[in-house]
Structure formats: C-alpha cells, structure tokens
Amino acid sequence: MDTSKDMLIGLVAIVLGSIFTITFIAIESETGIIGLIALSGAAVVLASRTGISERISNAFSSNESMMNSAVLVAVLVIIFWFREDHFSLLMIATVMLYLTACLGLNIQLGYTGVVNFSGAAFFGIGCYTAAVLNQNTGLSPLIVLVIGGIMAALIGSILILPMLRTRGHYAAVVTIAFAILFKTFLEVNDTLGGAQGLKVPGMEILGWDFNSNIEIGDEIELSFYLNYVAIALVLSVLAFILMRRVERSWIGLNLDAVRLDETVAACFGISIKRWKVTAFTMGNFLIGMSGAVFAMMLGFIAPSNFAFSDSLMLLSIVLLGGMGSPWGTVVAAGLVILLPEKLQVIQEYRFLLFAVVVILILVFKPQGLLPRGLRAYIPGWRG
C-alpha cells in the first residue's frame, strides 16, 4: 500500500463526509434523515469490510498536517454553505463548543483517568462568569472568555484536595456531589437569577457587534451566528491542537502512566498529584471557556441547562467517541448534538435513547466508535 494512494482515499473520504454533513444539516424530512443514517451505517460497514477505513486511518497517521488541514477546509466549506441559515449555524457552533468541552473532559478522563461527573457544572461556571462580567463590566469579550476558563479552573481547584485523596467510587461521589451542589446553589441564589436564569449580553469586539448580521455591500447578508461559529471554530481547533500536543509530549506520557498504573508511575518518579492536578485544571479551563462562548451565543442561561444529566451527556460523548481519541470526540459530539435536533420525533425520547446507546456501547464496544490507537512514537511509523 503506497501512502499517496492512501492519502487520495482519505481526501475522497473527507469530501464525501462533508457532502454528507451538508445534506444531513440541510435536509428537512424525517424519512430523508433516517435514510441518510442508514446509508452512512452501510457505508461504515462496507468501508471496514473492504479495508478502506484502515487505509483512511493510515492516511491520517502518515500525513497528519495535510489531512488535518483538509478537514479544516471541509469544515469551512460546510460553514460557508450555511452562511445565511441561523439555525444550522447555531447547531454547528453548539457542536464545536461541546467538542471543546469534551476535549477538556478527555484530557481529564481519557489521558489521566481523573473522573469528572460535573462537566456541566464547570461549563455552567463559564456561562455564569460570562453573564455576570458582560452585565456589570465593559471588559472585552475575549478577556471574558479567558476569565470564564480561569474561573472554572479556580472553582475546580476546590475539588483538588478531595479528588487527590479519593479513588474509584469515592472519587466519583465527590464530583457527583459537586454537580448537584452547583445546580442547587444556582437555583436558590437570587443574585445570580435563581431558577429563572440570567440574560447574557452578546459579544462586541472593537465596536463590532456580534449579534447583528454581517452586511457586505447591499446584496450579501450573512447570519450573525457566523461570528460565534468563527470563535467556536478557533476555540475548538486550538483545543484540538492542544490536546494533540499534550498527547505527543512527555506530559502526555506522564498522564498515560498515571492512568494506567498509579503505583508503577509513582515508582518511576512521576508525581501523581502534580499530573492529576494539571490535567484536571487544564480540562476545566477548556470546559469553562467553551461555556463562556456558549452563554454569549445563546443570550440566556438557566440552572436547568447544567443539571447532572447534562454532565452525563458530556461524559457519554467522550465514551462514545473513545477515551483519549480526539477524532472520536469530534464524531461523537456531532452525532449527539445533531441527531436529536434533526430527528424531532426522537426529541422527546432523547435522554432514553442516549442512555440506551451508551449502555450498548459500554457493553459491546467499550473502546468507543473511533478507539485511540497505539501511541505513535515516530510519525507515520507502522508496526
């Protein structure tokens, strides 16, 4: 198998994938959607039977920068396609923000094995920070964004001590308790809007109002969500790069060692505490940042957005995609956010279906949809 042929197959796959995504977002009829899902399922099965999926993954591992830029171009094409459609852009931005949050969760859970059942709470901290800062101060939204992340990381540091001392079920209960504590606190706290929630003013950078449509000349008018899609795209790409860089570096090696066996890692002189804290803080920072953008985009937040079930949903995305696999997270975030939006029939049964799907995945394919491959010490190396 020569690499150039693999790469060609990979590029064709990306083109087909983006055409599929565009049709999937654009199509309205329910039968059409179900047909598309059936088609994609058949395509995936066919690709794995004929060995094409293996060649695609080869293409990704041997020509990484090339393939990554191709995917980025594909995403830009998809965004450009829907430049005037508010709802589609909102969905795309939501997928990207959830993707960023789940990448953060992936650093915690997938690399270091730190259990975090309060992802939605940290997401909420970002949201509320953005709301309060935008209402009361004139700080630039970009700074607000970073502060949202810092706040999530800071408040998360309250949990560092209990998290370091506990393990297994005992560690899980710490974050579960925090998730419920956070939501109850928001519901009864009047200064933060109580159960009714808060209005969040939109972004405005250097006089450029993010909440009005972009007009170029007289004819072209673009949806204002394009602004947020751009921010979300930058954020998720940065998070993706960060995650990849962390994984490849000696930091990632240490994190993996901590996850796989704490005792052995400690024997080799790896500070378990330091790496757990690093991963936890880094993950919360990413989750908080995506929360801040999310709040500014939606313009309204309420405690019911950050319930325990939402934390479970974030975790399900990570597990569905495969722990520690960034591409898996991309696919899973897309599926989990887009599918219920497109299939209004299942909207009502959404949580039921999620729960069933996650159970089935855990039982039959515990490594996820796109499992993380073996660590490649030399780029393009195939053992």
Partner 1 sequence: MVGTFVGFTTYLGLSAVGIDNAFVQLVGVLVVAVGAMALLGAVIARYLVLPLKSAPPLNILLITLMLGTVLRESVRLFYPDGSNPKPFPYLLPTDSWAFGSFTLRADSIILFIGGLLVIIGVNVLINKTKMGLAIRAVAQDEETAKCMGINYTFTVLLTFALGSGVAAFAGVMNGLYYNEINFSMGLLLGVIGFSAAIIGGLGNIYGAILGGFLFAALQTVGAVALPFSSAYKDVFAFGGVIALMVWRPTGLIAEKSSERV
Q: Is 55 exposed, middle or buried (0-12, 13-18, 19+ CB in 10 A)?
A: buried
Q: How far apart are the first and last CA of the chain?
A: 14
Hey, is 352 helix, strand or coil? helix
Secondary structure class of 108 (helix, strand, coil): helix
Neighbours of 122 (CB within 10 A): 36
196 binds partner 1 (CB under 8 A): no
111 contributes a contact to partner 1 by CB under 8 A: no
Q: Draw the binding track, 127-156, toward partner 1 (x: CB under 8 A; -: no contact).
A: ------------------------------
Output the smallest distance, CB 325 to partner 1, in A: 16
Nearer to partner 1, 171 or 338 (CB): 171
Structure tokens at 253: 């090696």
Query: According to the binding rule CB under 8 A, does residue 168 interact with partner 1?
Result: yes
User: Using the rule CB under 8 A, which residue among 79, 279, 314, 315 binds partner 1?
Assistant: 315
**Shortest distance in whole angstroms from residue 189 CB to partner 1:** 9
Q: 10 Å Cβ neighbour count for 197?
A: 19
Q: Of the candidates 29, 217, 263, 378, which one interacts with partner 1 according to CB under 8 A?
A: 263
Site size toward partner 1, by CB under 8 A: 42
User: How far apart (Å, rounded) are the C-alpha atoms in residues 25 and 178?
Assistant: 36
Query: Is residue 304 part of the contact set for partner 1 (CB under 8 A)?
Result: no
For partner 1, the closer CB: 69 or 309: 309
Q: Of all helices (H) and strands (E), which one includes residue 205?
A: strand 204-205
Binding span for partner 1 by CB under 8 A among 123-131, 136-144, 172-180, 293-301: 172-180
Q: How many CB atoms lie within 10 A of CB 291?
A: 33
Pairing of strands 300-301, 220-222: unpaired
Q: Using the rule CB under 8 A, which residue among 348, 365, 373, 375 binds partner 1?
A: 348
By the rule CB under 8 A, 46 interacts with partner 1:
no
**Looking at 13-21, 45-53, 174-182, 248-256, which segment touches partner 1 (CB under 8 A)?**
174-182
CB count within 10 Å of CB 5 equals 12
DSSP character string of 216-244: ETTTEEE-THHHHHHHHHHHHHHHHHHHH
172 forms part of the interface with partner 1 (CB under 8 A): yes
Measured from the Cβ of residue 361, the count of other Cβ atoms closer than 10 Å reads: 19
Q: Which residues of the shown chain bind partner 1 in the complex (CB under 8 A)?
A: 109, 115, 158-159, 161-162, 165-170, 172-174, 176-178, 180-181, 184-185, 188, 263, 308-309, 312, 315-316, 319, 348-349, 351-352, 354-356, 358-359, 362-363, 366
